[in-house]
Structures are given as structure tokens and as C-alpha cells.
Amino acid sequence: MYEEEIRALSVKLLDEVEGVIGYSWGTLPFRARPFLCQKKEDVTHLVFNHFCGSNLARYLLSGELKEKKIAILAKACDARAITVLIREGQVKRENLVIVGIPCYGMVDRKKLEERFGPLQPQDFEWHLDSLTFKGENLSIGPFLEATCQRCLHPNPPLYDHLIGQEVTYIPRKRWNNDALTKLDMVSREERWAFFAGEFEKCIRCYACRNSCPLCYCKECFAEMQRPYWLSGAATPSENLFFHVGRSLHMAGRCVECGACERACPVDIPIALLPCKVEELIRGNFDFEAGIDPDKEPPLLTYRENDPGEFIR
């Protein structure tokens, strides 16, 4: 999708920037990977499709790119992450050319497999909000990643160039399939049974943290020696400690992109935790990360009438 536009623009941009961060096809089908395009002859590798799930803002932080003038392809959540990074002083706005892409959502390969069995790329044709499987046209909604089904901001809030047309609907309303709300409806013990099972599975590889565009600490609390917050043992209690701790570090910063859970090798829907915190912040502190760069982040401010009934 949009490939002609993206490639033509990249050729132009490469006159003024050192590279364009985008996506290319990976070695596996149904999987795109981040790609740094530095030569005009390489723009043909640039692609955009429903499998571009990694949040490219993450790559702005890598040492070699940090001080350079760079163009970056940005889905709505990538652009939100960039907004947070600028606000936090991690990247300079003047070093960036942001190529915004209105986003119809990323497709979850597992959902495709469940429905269609072993996947063959040639059986599929992809359109903005639908797909064709062996001639049959289907809505893309049921196959989207959980975080995309509950997305509230499909259009990038910040960009220099915009590819394509803005999305005209709110995905959360249209797909009406919010994993958080589903969990809200079950009892506390059922939720615990679910999460305990997930924390049991976690191997603490930190792929979730490492793929998150906003987990950029040079020394993460998970690996600190002083204080020695938690051991490296991947036991359920340590895993819960890590994930609750990380979710609180993301409070008011998580852009709900789902990159963390896409990266998880054991399929833990780990974005549920930071997204739950964002939902609490949205409802109680009237804030959304990466939307308005001038708004004070929620934990750096307070209101006298904040919720306080839980305090004796």
C-alpha cells in the first residue's frame, strides 16, 4: 500500500536527510521489518502494509542516528511516540522529517492462521480496510491486532508529509472489540487466573521492553544492581514485579502501539498492562500520551480534586 508514494517521496527526501527509516519485507512472509534506506537505489525495498507493526520511533534512539537528520515513516502510534520523545528531550524536532501514514491497523498473523490455516501469501490481496482471500472479500476488523482494534487515534498527530488520506472512523468504535473491556467484565479471581497464567509463561527476555519506543533508559530498573530491585529469575512473582513496575514507568507515556506484545516470543498480551494504565489516566487525569506536546504529563502535575476516596 502507498508504496509508489512512499518511494517517490523518499527519493526526494534523501537529498536532505541521511536516511529514511521505514519498512521492508522480512525473510518470512506476513512479516515486515524495519529498514533504514540510505541510498536512492534502495527505495524499491521500502514497503508499507498490514504487517508493519514495529514502532519505528524506537530506532531514532540508536546511537548512530540520534544526531543526524533523518526521515521517518510514522503510523499514528509511531508519530505519537515521536511526540513523546521530543517532549522528553530524546530527539530534536528539527532533525526529523516525519512522513505520517494514516493507519487502518496491523494484522495479527495468528488470527489469520486460526481462520485460514497455513498461510500462503498468494492467497491474499490486501486493501486498506479489507482483504481478499481466494476471491472472497472480508472486513479487516476481526484480523487486526488487539491494540489496533481498540485504537482511538488512527491518524498521526504530527507530521511534515502525509501519505494517503486520513482515516475517517475511530477503529475502537467501528470494531467494538476491546480486550481491556472484556477483561473488565470478568471477576477479580478470573482476571487473576488469566494473568497468573500469563506471568507464568514469561521468560523475561525483555523483548517487550526493548521494542517499546519509550523504554529507553540506559539502565533499566530490571537490571540495576543498586538497588537490586528484582532478580533475573523468571518466576511468576518476579515477572509480575517487572511488568507492574514497567507499566507504571510507562504511565502517561505509553502510546498504546502494541509493539511490546508483538515482540513477545511466548504470545503474552503484555500491552494490556500499560494500556490499562493509560485508560485509567484517560478517564481520571484527562490525558493521552503523544497527542498534545504542550500538555503537562499526568504524573508531573496534579489537581486538588484528583480521585482520593481510596485513601483513609
Cβ-based nearer residue to ligand SF4, 194 or 206: 206
Q: Which does residue 164 bind out of ligand SF4, another protein, none, counting CB within 5 to 8 angstroms by kind?
A: none
Which one of another protein, ligand SF4, none interacts with residue 204, CB within 5 to 8 A by kind?
A: ligand SF4
Measured at the CA of 122, the angle between CA 121 and CA 127, to 5 degrees, comes to 80
Q: Is 306 in the site for another protein (CB under 8 A)?
A: yes
> Where does this chain bind ligand SF4 (CB under 6 A)?
55, 202-209, 212-215, 217, 220-222, 246, 249-250, 254-260, 263-266, 268, 270-271, 274
Mapped to the 3 state alphabet, what secondary structure does 250-266 carry? CCCCCCCCCHHHHHCCC
State phi, psi for 201 to the nearest 5 degrees.
Answer: -75, -25
39's CB contacts (< 8 A; 6+ apart) are 14
Closest-CA residue to 71 (of 54, 86, 56, 49):
56
Shortest distance, CB of residue 43 to ligand SF4, whole angstroms?
27
Q: Which residues contact 142 (CB under 8 A, 6 or more apart)?
A: 111, 115, 175, 177
Which entry of ligand SF4, another protein, none binds 268, CB below 5 to 8 A by partner kind?
Answer: ligand SF4
Q: Cβ of residue 145: shortest distance to another protein, in angstroms?
A: 21
205 binds, among another protein, ligand SF4, none (CB under 5 to 8 A by kind): ligand SF4
Give me 66's grid cell: 540520534
> Residue 4: how many CB atoms within 10 A of its CB?
8
- Residues in the site for another protein, rule: CB under 8 A? 183-184, 188-196, 221, 229-230, 235-238, 240-241, 244-245, 247-248, 251, 273, 276-277, 280-281, 284-285, 298-299, 302, 304, 306-308, 310-312
